[in-house]
Amino acid sequence: MTATADGSTGAVRPRALSQTPNGASPNGASPNGAAPDSAGGTAEKDRLIRAAEQSSRRAVEYLLSLQDTAGWWKGDLETNVTMDAEDLLLREFLGIRDAPTTEAAARFIRGRQREDGTWASFHGGPGDLSVTIEAYVALRLAGDAADAPHMASAAAWVRGQGGIADSRVFTRIWLALFGWWRWEDLPELPPEIIYLPKWFPLNIYDFGCWARQTIVPLTVVSALRPVRPAPFALDELGGDAAAPGRSRRWSPVASWEGVFQRLDFGLHLYRRIAVRPLRRAALKDAARWIIERQENDGCWGGIQPPAVYSIIALRLLGYDLDHPVMRAGLESLDRYAIWQEDTATGGADGAGPSRMIEACQSPVWDTCLATIALADAGVPADHPALVKAADWMLDEQVVRPGDWAVRRPGLAPGGWAFEFHNDNYPDIDDTAEVVLALRRVRHPDPARVEAAIERATRWNLGMQSKNGAWGAFDADNTSGFPNRLPFCDFGEVIDPPSADVTAHVVEMLAATGLRDHPSNRQAVAWLLAEQEANGAWFGRWGVNYLYGTGSVVPALVAAGVPESHPAIRRAVNWLESVQNEDGGWGEDLRSYPDREWIARGVSTASQTAWALLALLSAGERDSKSVECGVRWLARTQQEDGSWDEPHFTGTGFPWDFSINYHLYRMVFPMTALGRYLNGAEGALEPLETHGARES
């Protein structure tokens, strides 16, 4: 496979730089075309350092300019057009869709259509059946005619892929809401699941928090099976429920898939005989569960999908749109919208405002990463911007129990969440990175910082899973059953430990004086065992092996694993072998389903930075691979100090739900350049966490 000029289709097969000494390519030049080291090597190195310094200064100025007056940073969180389509479908279902919102959303959706008529789930990716169906339906709502060229090509492609019957369950749920699909041909999800005890398989706490927040309201929708009159037919998409599709395929009864298909069949039968008082009680308790988890700003966990389904569920249960819960929920949805007033997005109606819906917002994550980047770039530890960021983060610490306490009932709270408002679901990853950020700030009230770090450290230690590693939101959320439900075909629905989250906690514990804590030693052993044969680590929350390796190697070195350790050397060799010829690194999201794509892709700023962070921590500062990577960052920086990165390098669910964090293109290159110029250790402020050490 080859890449097009913009790298949007096909893979790039990087030259294996480790095949020749010092990472030089076979023609004697470094991967970016620079002359090999010689008598003029010192001058060349000086020029590289000056270029890195200039790039770092420009990046610092640009990032500082993006800080909100309250102290936080937040980049756009871009996913795919299902967010925009489902927002319009929700408004249609509730009867509140208006022309300006519809036109702006349609303009954005049209602008993301591919030349073949499809929509992808990530930039440069292949057409996705469910995304294309939902985008198509949204444009029909906006008034686009079925026989318009861009619509006809989309419909033809959908039919060629099996039609609606082969789309994912969530897409067919949206269609069922309007009678375009039969509820009887969807998996059953009874609200009585809320009564399953916590030790019983498939209780709601067996699901990851994001799935749990979505599934509980969907049990209400599944039970009540509402149908609003469809404003048009969808025959052109192949909507016959009897058509061959995944909803009609049966697996052998001896297989797990066959077992769960028959369980679903049994649940359909149960629906006919369910005890009415029990069903009514379950619906009432599901509503109570939903309302109890609504945040103070009206959202649910700071995530758009649970908010959408919670609003639908409560509306079906009789909650008026003017009810305070509903009003706050609808107002919170508007805060996920990003309006662009002055851009043409390629729609048939020309230029005009477009409206993109964020699936989530990432201010805590962005702020802690920006703080680390600025500090590592040499911004003074007591700089007003860093102190203001620290103040904001300190105010965001979650100090009350959430759903995580179901598995850890005696653990005191102290974590941070990802979003502006999400007290129910703080996460281990944000907590670790916030602590690392606070450790880089010289705050005027050090006792306040130390107390916050103490609480956070205790909480993260308490959230360690039995195997010595950490998941993102819950401890020991590892049941294999939820992923097997026919209903759960929309991505990951459990939250097992991952190498990237575990690495961040290991790095945090080392930074807070707990390098030799038994929990940290156990985690280090787990990470070493998780290394793959090629020398890399899998990336759960970033794409993919570049993210995993870029997270784990610095953590292992911080935890005392020597740079000469075989695991570190294998990682270095792997990173050098997959460096692109232009000096950068890139990895396409297709590496999740297809190992042939591992570490193959167009060079990106964030992924190049991840590779550099690993190499720098492994003592490779003067290697050709590092020099070429730094040179690539300096060369590709834009005039304003930023980097362009249309490719998606973040993940919600590997492969199924991809994310472009628009601030990644800034914070990670800045961190890498800063550590190349300044080293890594000097940025940490001395701080002890005595209580956690003694625990």
For CA atoms 195, 201, 205, 207, the dihedral sign is negative
Burial class of 347 by CB neighbour count within 10 A (0 to 12, 13 to 18, 19+): buried
Kindly tell me the number of DSSP H helices and DSSP E strands found in the chain.
Answer: 23, 5
Q: Which residues contact 303 (CB under 8 A, 6 or more apart)?
A: 210, 213, 359, 360, 419
By the 8 A CB rule, do 572 and 562 touch?
Answer: no
Residue 180, classified by CB atoms within 10 Å of its CB into exposed (0-12), middle (13-18) or buried (19+), is buried
In 20-41, which positions are buried (b, 16+ CB within 10 angstroms) versus exposed (e)? eeebbbeeeebbbebebbeeee
Give the orientation angle of helix 129-141 with respect to helix 99-111, to 10 degrees. 140
Q: Is 429 a catalytic residue?
A: yes
Residues 485, 487: Cα–Cα separation, whole Å: 5
Backbone dihedral angles phi then psi of residue 337, each to the nearest 5 degrees: -90, 135
Query: Which DSSP string corresponds to 110-168?
Result: HHT--TTS--BSSTTPPB-HHHHHHHHHHHHHTT--TTSHHHHHHHHHHHHTT-GGGS-
Place of tokens 């959408």: 308
Q: Which residues pair with 120 in a beta bridge?
A: 127
CA distance 141 to 91: 11
Query: Residue 436: which of 360, 369, 534, 346 has the closest Cα?
Result: 369
CA distances (Å), origin 447, targets 285, 392, 450, 645 = 43, 16, 5, 40
Residue 291's CB: how many other CB atoms inside 10 A?
14
Q: Which of 429, 430, 474, 500 is catalytic?
A: 429
495 half-sphere exposure, CB direction, 13 A CA radius:
29
CA-based torsion, 142, 144, 145, 146: positive or negative: negative
Residue bearing tokens 């369950």: 169
CA 558 to chain centre: 25
Residues marked active site are found at 429
